[in-house]
Amino acid sequence: MRKNNRPNVDCILCSVRDDDKNIKNLKIYQDDIAFICLNLYPYNPGHLLIVPHRHIKSFRELDKKEALHITRLIQGVQNLMEDVLNSKGFNIGINEGPNSGASIDHLHYHLVPRYPNELGFIDIMSETRVVIEGLDSIMKRLKERISDYVNNDFFKEYK
Ligand SMILES: [Zn+2]
């Protein structure tokens, strides 16, 4: 059902990367290697996708620079989420290949923040309209703060 609702573009993540005006853009960060956007169908409030610019299908196609850079991005966003969303745990993962549950053919990492009292969040987010508003509000909060967590100094320490 979700697939039928998807906009008619070759690749939704390439469209997000390129700021295609025909799609809802939930991007909170972009640099010359990767970008970060909210998942339109969040498992939890703050569920993000971390995406290499290159349209590659497999984790094994990442080069060393991309792999290190994206790992560092994820670490920075974990710090951001702890502070801004008060998340206490994380699920980080990749779905790859036809039997994995992957629904987008462009490699991306899921970063799902976990909360001590998720029932409360789910209650709040249970109505579709509220979910959409929730996405915009969470996007704004993360976008406002991400440059405090993911910046040149933060990457410098890593190299
Ligand atoms: Zn793509």
The rounded Å distance from CA 11 to ligand 1 centre is 5
The rounded Å distance from CA 42 to ligand 1 centre is 20
Q: Do residues 28 and 38 lie in contact, with contact meaning Cβ atoms separated by under 8 Å?
A: yes
The CATH number for 99's domain is 3.30.428.10
Going by the DSSP 8-state scheme, the letter that residue 91 receives in this structure is: E
Q: Residue 48's domain spans which residues?
A: 2-156
The rounded Å distance from CA 66 to ligand 1 centre is 15
Model pLDDT for residues 3-41, shown as the tens digit of each residue: 455 667 899 999 999 999 998 889 999 999 999 999 988
Report pTM: 0.86
Give pLDDT, residue 129. 47
User: What b-and-e string marks burial along 71-108, b requiring 16 or more CB atoms within 10 Å of the CB?
Assistant: ebbbebbbebbeebbebeebeeeeebeeeeeeeeebbb
Model pLDDT for residues 74-107, shown as the tens digit of each residue: 999 999 999 999 999 999 999 998 889 888 999 9
pLDDT at 48 over 50: yes
pLDDT band at 52 (very low <50, low <70, confident <90, very high): very high
Nearest-angstrom CA–CA distance, 15 and 46: 21
- Listed in sequence order, the residues at least 6 apart from 1 whose beta carbon sits closer than 8 Å to its beta carbon are none
- The domain total for the chain is 1
